[in-house]
Amino acid sequence: MTISQTSTTSSSALAIHGGVPVRPRPVSMTTHLGPAARLRIAGVLERHEPLSEYYGGPWARRFEDEFARYHGADRHAVAVNSGTSALHVSLAAAGIGPGDEVIVPALAFVAAATAVVQLGAVPVICDAEPHSLTMDVRAAEALVTDRTRAILPVHLWGHPADLASLRALCDARGLVLVEDACQAPGAPVGAARTGTFGDFAAYSFANRKHIHCGDGGMVLCRTAEAARTVRSMANFGKGPGWDDYHTLGYNYRMVEVSALIGLEGLADLDDEIARRQHAASLYRQGLRDTDLAPVPAPAWGDSVYFKMPVLLPERHVARRQFVIDAIHAENVSSRIPHRPLFAVPWLAEYLRARGRYRGPEDCRVAASAHARLFEVETGPHLPAEEAARSVEAVRKVWRQLDGQAP
């Protein structure tokens, strides 16, 4: 069934106005756990195996090994209990501390800034580049001062930042590169993948992420030494001995059942990426004859589409909430993207108190794009026929919207 055939057969009255929704009910977003994983979990419980161990139990270790191998033979991974923990422990292992500056993109999830502030450091908010809305590398370079210690690109929506350029910039200026890859596991960047450019890369396995196991995270490290530091810091800063605490550390371990579920998600990751990329291609194709503009993937790589970000034309910006509500009523998930970091109230206050606030006037691309953006679903586990329905819902709302006076 092609999209144009669907559009001629579906009712044109919007569900929000009492019409028949494109999808009878929302797609279930629960974890898809195969029989093999269920048996393994039952086995851990029946054999009374530990559900969590210092430095990671056997399943957490296996998840780490397979996750590292997915990214190449010379990688090192440490499993943790969330993406936010992964970001925090990465920055801590990099030695970031009070007064240090970390450059973060305006278009991000708040956790990237949280991790910086947790260390008493200062997130310096950087604008987006206008094409793919990823971190603007030139803008980032202009923000480097003698207090800058790290750059933290966020691959929002699954769109990878320009990692080759950021790596070169960090090498030239002696900075640490930490990737927030929570929305972009496995995204292609040239012949490589996200996570393999950074000194550290942070992943999340929370609900709706490409790999999801309730809550969980992973730190991918460039060197074995960095991975040892991360592992120690994620375990109270413990050394090899009992009661041997040699550095400030945290309790960030991943529990065994999460690792078992995560392993299942990792085995499915390439298929999940393919499903999400297929959904994205349906949106691009299906919205071609509208003035809705899906944000392009960057030239240096491809997106793995945590969500599909779409720009409304200026003439309909005032109706953004209606568009989202109307798509929702068709039983298709849609949202306003996370607010830009400069619009997070506590962060704005923290930065103002330090004279380091950078607002919308300093991040014009991000500010103007964000005002026009809405996101639509691409997963998890969205079958192709359901993705076609998601596209149809957006088309249906567009036809109503554009048929009306602006």
Ligand X SMILES: *Cc1c(COP(=O)(O)O)cnc(C)c1O
- Dist CA 48 CA 42 (whole Å): 10
Nearest CA-CA partner of 279 in 268, 291, 289, 271 = 271
Question: In angstroms, what CA-CA distances link 269 with 51, 273, 388?
Answer: 25, 6, 21
Residue 196-225 contact track with ligand X, rule CB under 6 A, x = bound: --------x-x--------x-x--------
Residue spans of alpha helices (H) in 108-211: 111-118, 137-143, 163-173
Q: What is the DSSP string of 298-341?
A: PTTB----SSEEEEPPGGGGGGHHHHHHHHHHTT--EEPPPPPG
Q: x/- contact string, 126-165, with ligand X (CB under 6 A)?
A: ----------------------------x-----------
Shortest distance, position 15 Cβ to ligand X, whole Å: 29
Tokens 């371990």 sit at which residue?
253
For ligand X, give the closer residue by CB, 115 or 137: 115
Q: How far is the CB of 56 from ligand X (least distance, A)?
A: 17
**Residue 123 in contact with residue 115, Cβ under 8 Å?**
no
Site string for ligand X, 360-399 (x = CB under 6 A): ----------------------------------------
Minimum gap (Å) between residue 405 Cβ and ligand X: 38
Least Å from the CB of residue 114 to ligand X:
9
- Exactly one of 21, 56, 83, 198 binds ligand X (CB under 6 A); which one? 83
CB contact set of 81 (below 8 Å; sequence gap of 6+): 215, 216, 217, 252, 253, 254, 255, 258
Q: Applying CB under 6 A, does 82 fall inside the site for ligand X? A: yes
3-state secondary structure of 136: coil
To the nearest whole angstrom, how small is the minimum distance from the Cβ of residue 183 to ligand X? Answer: 4
Q: Which is nearer to ligand X, 83 or 301 (CB)?
A: 83
Q: According to the binding rule CB under 6 A, does residue 84 interact with ligand X?
A: yes
Cβ 216 to ligand X shortest distance, Å: 7
Footprint of ligand X (CB under 6 A): 82-84, 109, 111-112, 154, 180, 182-183, 204, 206, 215, 217
